[in-house]
Structure 1
Amino acid sequence: MRASRFPAGPPPAETALSIERLGAEPVPVDRRHGRPWSLFTLWFGANVQFATLSVGALSTAVFGLDLVPAVCAIALGTLLSSALVGLFSTRGPLTGVLQLIQARGPFGRLGNLPSAAFTVVNGVGWCVVDTLLGTFILREVAGVGFTTALVIMAVAQLSLAMVGYRMIHYVERGLAVLLVIVFVVVSVYGFGQAHAEAPSEPYAGSVAAFLLVVAVTAARVLGWSAYASDYSRYLPATSPPRRVFLAAGGGTALAGGWIGALGAAIGTAGAVDNPSSLVSDLLPEALGTVVLLSLLLSTLASTVIDLYSGAMAALVAGFPLPRWVSVLVVGSLGTALSWYAGHGDFARQLQDFLLMTGYWLAPWGAVLIVAYWVRERHSYGLTKLFDARHRFGWGLPSVLLALVVEIPFMNQSLYTGPIAAAHPAAGPLGLFVGFAVSGLSYAALTAWRATPATAPEAPTPNTATAAVE
């Protein structure tokens, strides 16, 4: 066993500008800090942003729902998925490890590799979405070309994400205050100029459109659930789980519901072919510029989270890179894909991306819920999560089965399943069917095990590194 990588004695003082030293290993107890309230400001700031507004606008401008049912669908989808963000966040203080490390329990070390790969894809994909939104704004405000604006966005995002955990929390806390003020102003204009009816006919009927909005909205927030514990693992192990749940889930739900509804209101009077026009066409010119600059910052609030956790997922997958180098690699890939995607149909690409991520994340989340909350006697301690002999679990077969069941429901630009083609209203149900099939499958496959209950083990200063050797 190699010597501990942590120095003896008290840990060195860290500030918001200090580059985070830890990678995928557990956070020792003497490096724990903060309060659950910090999760509220982090997730509120991450969801009070332009991407949430754009997804909300899809409900009326693209899917054709009238305003009231659109708001109801957005609220339902946001609440369902925000509960998962809150629930998964409670595991962070208990174990001090990343969300993907916790998934090793039901999936196994090797069985977890597809989850790690998908999380990298999810982080890169959301990096593309938010980078494009920021690039569109910067291009309009500064009058620069697309490529120049893209490079400026990439440098700003990478600089924040490479510093790490503390910087992200500080940025989100500050932006949460600024963006609340900005979106209050936008709300006055947006809801004031909204129409009760959508500008187009509902997609394949009102029922299909309603379910599609629920699915797309839930998929947007489900993307955060794959990282939830990444931002709570530094909290003290004594942090009350209820407060952690309410802070993380509440911040996500409150911001997501508000900004999503605002997007639906704005979408009743416009299109989303050019996202920046959602706001610039709504406000007086001078005020519109100020708001667009603030929204530009909001894309940073979201992207740094995706870059940070996408980079962490690469480390969990086994790439022997320093954390900051992993951030640079993931961010560079996201920037390259942003350049390509920026020349396509943004609304359609966003819809396809949201649904595709949901097809995996819904079954994956169901396995974690059953493993850690429904069948608590099968809970996995810290030693098990880092045990190289624990190669496979029943999580991956359960998710793969759910994916097979979801195929007939899929409705993408490249593929439409038979159920979605024959009954468009049933297509969006694929995410929820996959969630149910995966959860029930995992419960059935693990029912025969008589594993004794294992309480989560909080790492100590001397044993945290030993777990990963």
Structure 2
Amino acid sequence: MRANPERPPAIEQLGAEPVPPDRRHGRPWSLFTLWFGANVQFATLSVGALSTSVFGLDFAPAVLAIATGTLLSSALVGLFSTRGPLTGVLQLIQSRVPFGRLGNLPSAAFTVVNGVGWCVVDSLLGIFILRDLTGLGFGPALAVMAVAQIAVAVVGYRLIHSVERALAVLLVVVFAVMSVYGFGEVRAQAPVAPADGWTAAFLLVVAVTGARVIGWSAYASDYSRYLPATSRPRRVFLAAGGGSAVAGVWIGSLGAALGTAGALDDPSGMVSDLLPGALGTVVLLSLLLSTLASTVIDLYSGAMAALVAGFTIPRWVSVLVVGGLGTALAWYAGHGDFAAQLNDFLLMTGYWLAPWAAVTIAAFWGRGRREPADPYDPAHRFGPGLPCVLLALAAEIPFMNQSLYTGPLAAGHPALGPFGLFVGFVVAGAAYTVLAGRRWPTPHDRTTQHPLVSDQLRSDA
């Protein structure tokens, strides 16, 4: 008897291979609830709070900066999600087209790092909540987070969608109640002054907020690849991008409102100190669930990236490895300055992902697009994508402004620091458009196209 595509096995069996046509199911609307639920969470609230409590923007300009960064990056999530139904493959498999199989390895490695990094951030946020709710020590709270997060990611795609769909309804109610209190207590002015001026603070909030969401873009097709190939790209774009944008602007702005009250030393304290006892407990429990659900996405796609990089292990084993690394690093990071670590991590991810996103756009939608190589062809080792990203990274170095490294331009003119991400995006996109217009060594003349991918990729190009 043929398996029902609407009810795949309890534990997802597919890894980095394409989704067969008889396993395709679902509707684009599922992407709205997925990305809405993924963004209605504690990390979004905390990043919003950075804008006022750490960077020193007043509330109104903070909201404008949060909206700008969120809308720009959410558009990428929506755009890249449209490739999932067309191809049936993971986002990083598609990256082999402009990067090549070997040239794509740094992107796969960085996506693993991104998944591990967000596992660390969300684990720490969950520990803050568990500590406030139960009084658990750091070690036991970390163990609870690790088991819950890894368990859902091991089961896979269908359970992740189900969890996010259920949480989307719950979290709308919870955050609506929280918004009444949070926006009711907002102060027009930030508790601290911008260290490097208003312009630098505004651009930094745009960059950091955009970097938070752009991290999802490297995963976008992972959660739309099971949709039928007949799914309309416009609906996919609006569902995925809309869910991310609505939740990101709302919760980020709420975080900015809470940040006007003081420092971000204890993120859960922002919530528990604001709300009356029983309501505060309910909200913190809901935030804990949302944090778990968000981490699951990062673990799932981080594990998939490891498979794309060439590790020949089952998907669920890859989840255990990525989750284990994230848990170990969370133990180490839990004894540092959370706000500073979050800022550094967000900027670090943006420095790579902004050029990567620009190359992807140029390859599939820009003037640099052409007849694509087969992403499963072993002869397609290198494409122009990696040199373009490396060039963009070199262009970003003078603008880098983190506790780990400060570039010369950022050191002398701090207001220029946040421009690094935008410079990298423009440089990578322009370089790819130029290089892709030239004759780049490709295996088109000798390749055997993958039967599930080639026609869809060719027609889309």
TM-score class, shorter: over 0.9
* Alignment-derived partner of residue 218 in structure 1: 210
Report if the CA contact (8 A) 1:171-1:301 is conserved.
Answer: yes
Amino acid in structure 2 at the alignment position of 1:49:
Q
Alignment of 1:420-431 (within 5 A): 420-431=410-421
Provide the residue aligned with 1:262 in structure 2: 254
Structure 2 counterpart of 1:162: 154
- One-letter amino acid of the structure 1 residue matched with residue 260 of structure 2: T
- C-alpha contact 1:96 1:458 (8 A) present in aligned 2: no
Deviations 1:66-122 (A, max 9, x none): 000000000000001001000000000000000000000000000000000000000
* Residues 219-259 of structure 1: per-residue CA shift (max 9 Å, x gap): 00010000000000000000000000000000000000000
Aligned to 1:6: none
The SS at the match of 2:225 is: coil
For 1:139, which of 121, 125, 131 is the aligned residue? Answer: 131
Matched, 1:288 2:280: yes
1:128 equivalent in structure 2 = 120
Q: Taking structure 1 as reference, are residues 35 and 12 closer, same or farther at Cα in structure 2, changes over 3 Å only? A: closer
**Is residue 372 of structure 2 the alignment partner of residue 372 of structure 1?**
no
Distance in 1 separating the partners of 2:16 and 2:367: 26
Aligned counterpart, 1:62: 54
Give the letter for the 1:138 counterpart.
Answer: L
Where structure 2 has 5 or more consecutive residues not aligned to the other structure, the ranges are 457-461
Q: CA deviation at 1:459?
A: 5.6
Shift in alpha-carbon separation, 1:16–1:278, aligned structure 2, 3 A: farther
> 2:451, 2:6 → 1: CA distance?
20
Residue identity opposite 2:394 in structure 1: V
Is the contact between residue 78 and residue 217 of structure 1 (CA under 8 Å) also seen in structure 2? yes
Say if 2:432 is the partner of 1:442.
Answer: yes
Partner of 1:247: 239
Which residue number in structure 1 is paired with residue 42 of structure 2?
A: 50
Aligned residue in 1 for 2:223? 231
In the other structure, the counterpart of 1:92 is: 84
The residue correspondences of 1:273-312 to structure 2 (distance < 5 A) are: 273-312=265-304
**8 Å Cα contact 1:93-1:237 kept in structure 2:** yes
2:308 is matched with 316
Distance 1:191 1:80 in 2: 24
Q: Look up the SS of the partner of 2:95 in the other structure.
A: helix
| Paired residue total | 451
* 1:30 Cα deviation from its structure 2 partner: 0.5
Post-superposition offset of 1:301: 1.3
TM-score by length of 2: 0.95
Contact 2:368–2:437 (CA<8 Å) still a contact in 1?
no
| CA deviation vs aligned residue, 1:396-434 (integer Å, no higher than 9, x gap) | 000000000100000010211010011111100000000
Q: d(CA) in 2 for partners of 1:246 and 1:395?
A: 27
Answer yes or no: is the 8 Å Cα contact 2:69–2:209 preserved in 1: yes
Once the two structures are TM-superposed, the CA of residue 10 in structure 1 deviates from its matched residue by 2.5
Distance (Å, rounded) in 2 between the aligned partners of 1:332 and 1:123: 12
Once the two structures are TM-superposed, the CA of residue 286 in structure 1 deviates from its matched residue by 1.5
CA distance in 2, matches of 1:460, 1:351: 41
Letter in 2 for 1:337: L
Query: What is the RMSD of the two structures over their aligned residues, measured on CA atoms?
Result: 2.0
Aligned to 2:179: 187
- Does the C-alpha gap of structure 1 residues 460 and 440 become closer, same or farther in structure 2, counting only changes over 3 Å? closer
Q: Distance in 2 between matches of 1:246 and 1:259?
A: 19
Unaligned runs of 5+ in 1: 1-8, 465-469
Letter in 2 for 1:137: I
Does residue 71 of structure 2 align to residue 79 of structure 1?
yes
Distance apart, 1:285 and its partner CA: 1.4
Counterpart of 1:127 in structure 2: which amino acid?
C
After TM superposition, the score normalised by the length of structure 1 is 0.93
| Structure 2: distance between partners of 1:81 and 1:167 | 26
Q: State the shift of 1:26 in Å.
A: 0.2
Moved more, 357-366 or 197-206: 197-206
Equivalent residues of 1:372, 1:379 under 8 A apart: no
Task: Name the aligned partner's letter for residue 444 of structure 1.
Answer: V
% identity of equivalent residues: 76
Distance change >3 Å, CA 176–CA 16, structure 1 → 2:
farther
